[in-house]
Amino acid sequence: MPSRLPAPKPVSGRLPVWSNGPVIDVRTITDEEIPAYVAAMRTGFAGHADEEAIEVARPSIDPDRTLAAFDGRQVVGTARAFASDMTIPGDRTIPVAGVTNVTVLPTHRRRGLLTEMMRQQLDDVVARGEPLAVLIAAEAPIYGRFGYGAAVWRATLRVDSRAAAFAHPVPARTLEMVDLPTMRTVAPSVFEASRAGRPGALARSEGMWDRRCGVRAAAEELAELRKRFHVLARDDAGTIDGYMSYDHRGEWDGMRPNGTLVVRELCAASPDAAAALWHHALTMDWCVRVEADDRPVDDGLPWLLRDQRQVVTTDVTDFVWVRVLDVPAALSARGYGSTDRLVIEVDDRFRPDLGGRVVLDASPVGATCEPTTEAPDLTLDAAHLGAIYLGGTPLSRIAAAGRVREHTPGAVARADRLFLHSPAPWCSTWF
């Protein structure tokens, strides 16, 4: 096997990968290169791209924010970013770069292409002034070395609906079955209202809504979307404050129904709407169980039922990873659970220029954060700052693994009181 060169400094986007191999160009793409980019990206995710798939993807691709690794004329690596915003603690939002489409062809793995694409991408995000980059990791070990930390977790729930009696009367709501075009019209405003107090919720662009509602979708996607049912919840004033999309997997055990209702999305802007929609799901004829992916880890469903044990969490896994790129701006932007002053040292091995010491003066009503030369109260990796940023991961849990250096006794516990947030971070949007 050829010997691998030491990690080179990027020069004009050209990366010498192997000592006796080719020179790989890592650069942004042109409009004309979008088809090759999409084809390579789909191959990297073990899929195929036809003309339809390319045209469906095209509107979401900004060539100025889309990187590809070229081996000659062949695209062998891909990475893309888009501008968005995310809810953070304190009922606020912050600009983020949504990172997606990150792949390397199987023929070009372990050559440093991903590292170079990540380096160039983070350079661009920093230059654009976006304090955070966020992504969904296909594999957990990949992104920690680039300073990303798992900040949002997702749960999969399973309920035996035959035994899921509600503990209290269900709030009054008028429910209405609607089609996809109606969902495209009404769902965005409900979603926006629902994400206001939930850290980790990512804004959905018009293009995202078009894709979710079948306005712009490949035939295979559209076929799946058309299998779904959609129901709206209206309050006494007629205001839509919740919706649910679900599939019905019909099965029979002889002449006895044994179906499963699969919740694809349940979005509620009020607890009453959530209760009414869950009741609708759990009392569906011909269904004996309900399954729901992509739920928050602190979902209130168990507390709606007389027997909480009927709600079984079958899986909890990381979902959205956060990379803090502007520490003072990011820490100044969010709200906090206590009043304190903490000097934090961030060890950023991938981008040392983004690390260093900051002093955080924080309270529930606001915060300031700026560079300092004061002695630190604690030292943590950039990835661990990303993990705690949205308030769902206690720093004490990371410290228990020996990954935090506490210089001032009690500093980790103080950081927990500052950073932890309820409700837990949740993102229901795949990107």
- Separation CA 351–CA 23 (nearest Å): 24
Reported as type and span, the H/E element at residue 141 is: none
Number of H helices, E strands in the chain: 12, 20
- Separation CA 118–CA 180 (nearest Å): 37
Any idea what DSSP says for residue 78? E
From the list 146, 389, 419, 431, the catalytic residue is: 431
Any idea what DSSP says for residue 87? E
Residues in the chain: 431
- Among 83, 81, 78, 84, smallest CA distance to 49 is for 78
- Separation CA 301–CA 314 (nearest Å): 14
The response to whether 111 counts as a known ligand-binding position is yes
- Separation CA 358–CA 75 (nearest Å): 41
What values do phi and psi take at 372, rounded to 5?
A: -150, 160
The response to whether 113 counts as a known ligand-binding position is yes
- Separation CA 362–CA 374 (nearest Å): 17
Sign of the torsion angle spanned by Cα atoms 41, 47, 49, 54: negative
The response to whether 312 counts as a known ligand-binding position is no
β-sheet bridge partners, residue 240: 234
The response to whether 132 counts as a known ligand-binding position is no
What is the longest distance spanned by two Cα atoms in the chain?
74
Structural contact between residues 38 and 56, judged by C-beta atoms closer than 8 angstroms: no
The response to whether 102 counts as a known ligand-binding position is yes
Angle at 100 between CA 97 and CA 101, to 5 degrees: 150
CB atoms within 10 A of CB 365: 9
The response to whether 114 counts as a known ligand-binding position is yes
> Is 431 labeled as catalytic in the residue annotation?
yes
From the list 143, 191, 319, 336, the catalytic residue is: 143
Answer whether the bond into residue 6 is a cis peptide, omega within 30°.
Answer: no
Q: What one-letter code names the amino acid at 305?
A: L
Enumerate the known binding-site residues.
102-104, 110-115
Q: Provide the annotated active-site residues.
A: 143, 431
Enumerate the known binding-site residues for acetyl-CoA.
102-104, 110-115
